[in-house]
Chains A and B, each alone.
Chain A
Amino acid sequence: MRLQRLATRGLRNLAPGELHTDASFVVFSGLNAQGKTNALEAIWFLATLRPLRGFVVRDLIAWGEEEAAVGGTVDGHALKVMQGKSRRLFLEGQAVTQLSQYFGAVRAVAFSPSDEEVLRGEPRLRRQWLDRAAFTADPSHLDLVRAYHRALDQKRALLRSPDPVLLDVLDEQLARTGAAVAEARERMLSALEPHVTRYHRELSGDQAVVEPRYRTVAYGRSTADRTGALHDALQQARAEEVRRGMALVGPHRDEVRLLLDGRPARTWASRGQVRSLLLALKLAELQAARERGDAPLFLLDDLSSELDGDRTRRLVSILEGLGSQVFVTTTDPSHIQGLPEADTLHFSVREGQLSALPAAR
């Protein structure tokens, strides 16, 4: 997958304009607070319709603007998103009504230093990370997760004045969609498992074995088994759920764990291990995509702060092998060693202005 052109207007501090980005590596360099990450923000928004960092969609719109627009050409297909009070999507100039149609045309994986929270923070963040990965692999995962959460919200509302037949109905829906959510998550983790230890080792020199584990009440060999298991668990929890007015059982409570030599990385991993582990997970995601015949865009924020020269060189060579187009931000491009300069585009970022730099430095 190749982003050949990127155009933005009214997005954060970026000056309106268009960039040609048709290269395997695209580097945005500049001092802090100049808008480097906003360039990635634009690409991520185009690909996922979500902000990259922790803010809300509204914050993507520049000060004093009514609307932000990001357009791009991905593998020859023109995509555009316009975000004002509401959002409008275009594919080849036609308004898009079905989200999945849009997401069929573009996929992206991102790594940023703030992702540390995924490993360190509350379980919800790991479920969200895994759902994001499963969505990148199959956009219909989004519909599934949304349907599950909608049914969950309906159930929470119902628990205030429970009607037993209606609770049965909602639990049946939750068992069905919940089992599918759990199955997709577990499938995603299994696709990552064979690669994550290797990448972690290559990036950190650390020999530890990494095991991603998913703990769910919706377990089983087939979707039907999982549905049955979740349904039984819901039945057993019924009295307690009604008493406490809470939805206590289901994939919204499942646990994603990462074990480092058998111990939970959340509490045992050092800061350095957490970072290379996260990066390894993202690379594993790209490798799993590659095995499906896909190559999502890869967004790498603030690379210079992550790794030393040797490890950066190793990372670049891994990325070359993965075949994904890579977008990197850095304060100092000389930090990123081993880039194939003939296939790399450099942009400097200053006060929101992106300018192409000559190829050979």
Chain B
Amino acid sequence: MGNAPIDEAVAQLSRLPGIGRKTATRLVYWLLRSPTGTAATIGRALSALEGGVRECDTCCDFTDQIRCPICASGGREQGVVCVVEHPQDVRAFERSAGFRGRYHVLHGAISPLDGVGPAELRIRPLLERIRSDEIREVILATDPDVEGDATALYLARLLRGVGVRVTRIARGLAVGTEIEYADPASLSRALENRQEL
């Protein structure tokens, strides 16, 4: 006990979300047993996050460029913007491969309980973007919880009279769900959000 570098590494790793002291200790001992250079490689990758990663000038997603690859790509539909809470949500939409427009990342949702108001989110860059670009439709794809809904309603109000179509993603049944086993909340939402055939 009392090994300063080990204690420090454990203390730093346990600052990460979801990692307690126990897990941090296990990770540190794993690193110590790993081939020489493993810890240094991981360390360099982590250092590169600072300074190397910034927010895209257009959509505020994380990138190492001035504009992220999606915003820079000529192959994406320019007129449709999908607004999400987190960079991870962009990855999720991209995995689905169904969306050809571009994104805007708010970096959170409105939550007065957590001290997050509109000023803490990337709302101003979104408004500037809508004013200057040829945007026809804004899809509000914030989470379907109280905070995500509040954020969507707030944005919808801001965008009233701006001359863009504002839509909210539908909520309902998960793909692969059998009606019989669906939970009542999802079922009633699916019914509410039914579509014309």
**A residues lining the B interface (CB < 8 Å):** 98, 100-101, 104, 138-140, 143, 147, 150-151, 153-155, 157-158, 160, 163, 165-166, 168-170, 172-173
Q: Which residues of B contact A139 (CB under 8 A)?
A: 183-184
CB pair B112–A166 under 8 Å, yes or no, is yes
CB distance from A361 to the nearest CB of B (A): 43
CB distance from B159 to the nearest CB of A (A): 12
Q: Which residues of B contact A169 (CB under 8 A)?
A: 110, 150, 153-154, 157
**B residues lining the A interface (CB < 8 Å):** 110-113, 117-118, 145-147, 149-150, 153-154, 157-158, 181, 183-186, 188
CB distance from A320 to the nearest CB of B (A): 30
Nearest-CB residue, chain A, relative to B115: A157
The contact of B118 among A138, A163, A172, by CB within 8 Å, is A163
CB pair A147–B146 under 8 Å, yes or no, is yes
Q: Which residues of B contact A158 (CB under 8 A)?
A: 112
CB distance from A96 to the nearest CB of B (A): 10
CB pair B153–A151 under 8 Å, yes or no, is no
When chains A and B are docked, how far (Å) is the Cα of A160 from the Cα of B147? 18
- A sample of 10 cross-chain residue pairs with beta-carbon separation below 8 angstroms, ordered by A number, consists of A100-B184, A104-B183, A140-B183, A154-B112, A157-B112, A163-B118, A165-B154, A166-B150, A173-B150, A173-B153
Nearest-CB residue, chain B, relative to A158: B112
Q: Which residues of B contact A155 (CB under 8 A)?
A: 112
CB pair A140–B118 under 8 Å, yes or no, is no
Q: Which residues of B contact A168 (CB under 8 A)?
A: 157
Nearest-CB residue, chain A, relative to B113: A157
CB pair B183–A98 under 8 Å, yes or no, is yes
When chains A and B are docked, how far (Å) is the Cα of A316 from the Cα of B128? 71
When chains A and B are docked, how far (Å) is the Cα of A261 from the Cα of B113? 45
CB pair B146–A154 under 8 Å, yes or no, is yes
Chain B CB count within 10 A is highest, among A104, A155, A157, A166, for: A166
Q: Which residues of A contact B186 (CB under 8 A)?
A: 100
When chains A and B are docked, how far (Å) is the Cα of A172 from the Cα of B113? 18
Q: Which residues of A contact B153 (CB under 8 A)?
A: 169, 172-173
Q: Is the interface of A mostly helix, strand, loop or mixed?
A: helix
CB distance from A1 to the nearest CB of B (A): 17
User: Assuming A163-B117, A169-B110, what are 13 further A-B pairs, CB within 8 angstroms?
Assistant: A101-B181, A104-B181, A104-B183, A140-B183, A140-B184, A150-B146, A151-B150, A154-B111, A158-B112, A166-B110, A169-B154, A170-B150, A172-B153
CB pair A151–B146 under 8 Å, yes or no, is yes
Q: Which residues of B contact A147 (CB under 8 A)?
A: 145-146
Nearest-CB residue, chain B, relative to A146: B146
When chains A and B are docked, how far (Å) is the Cα of A98 from the Cα of B187? 13
When chains A and B are docked, how far (Å) is the Cα of A173 from the Cα of B145? 11
8 closest residue pairs by CB, A with B: A100-B183, A157-B112, A140-B184, A140-B185, A158-B112, A150-B146, A169-B153, A157-B113
CB distance from A133 to the nearest CB of B (A): 16
Q: Which residues of A contact B154 (CB under 8 A)?
A: 165-166, 169
CB pair A173–B146 under 8 Å, yes or no, is yes
CB distance from B130 to the nearest CB of A (A): 17
Q: Indicate whether A166 sits within 8 Å of B147 (C-beta atoms), given known contacts A104-B183, A140-B184, A154-B113.
A: no
Nearest-CB residue, chain B, relative to A162: B112
Chain A CB count within 10 A is highest, among B111, B112, B147, B181, for: B112
Q: Which residues of A contact B147 (CB under 8 A)?
A: 154
Q: Which residues of A contact B145 (CB under 8 A)?
A: 147, 150
Q: Which residues of A contact B181 (CB under 8 A)?
A: 101, 104
CB distance from A335 to the nearest CB of B (A): 39
When chains A and B are docked, how far (Å) is the Cα of A101 from the Cα of B110? 29
Q: Which residues of A contact B111 (CB under 8 A)?
A: 154
Nearest-CB residue, chain B, relative to A101: B183
Nearest-CB residue, chain A, relative to B184: A140
When chains A and B are docked, how far (Å) is the Cα of A217 from the Cα of B29? 62
Nearest-CB residue, chain A, relative to B158: A165
When chains A and B are docked, how far (Å) is the Cα of A140 from the Cα of B187? 10
Q: Which residues of B contact A140 (CB under 8 A)?
A: 183-185, 188
Nearest-CB residue, chain B, relative to A143: B185
Q: Which residues of B contact A166 (CB under 8 A)?
A: 110, 112, 117-118, 150, 154
The contact of A153 among B110, B113, B158, by CB within 8 Å, is B113
Q: Which residues of A contact B149 (CB under 8 A)?
A: 173
Nearest-CB residue, chain A, relative to B189: A140
When chains A and B are docked, how far (Å) is the Cα of A150 from the Cα of B146? 7
CB pair B113–A138 under 8 Å, yes or no, is no
Nearest-CB residue, chain B, relative to A100: B183
When chains A and B are docked, how far (Å) is the Cα of A138 from the Cα of B149? 23
Q: Which residues of B contact A173 (CB under 8 A)?
A: 146, 149-150, 153
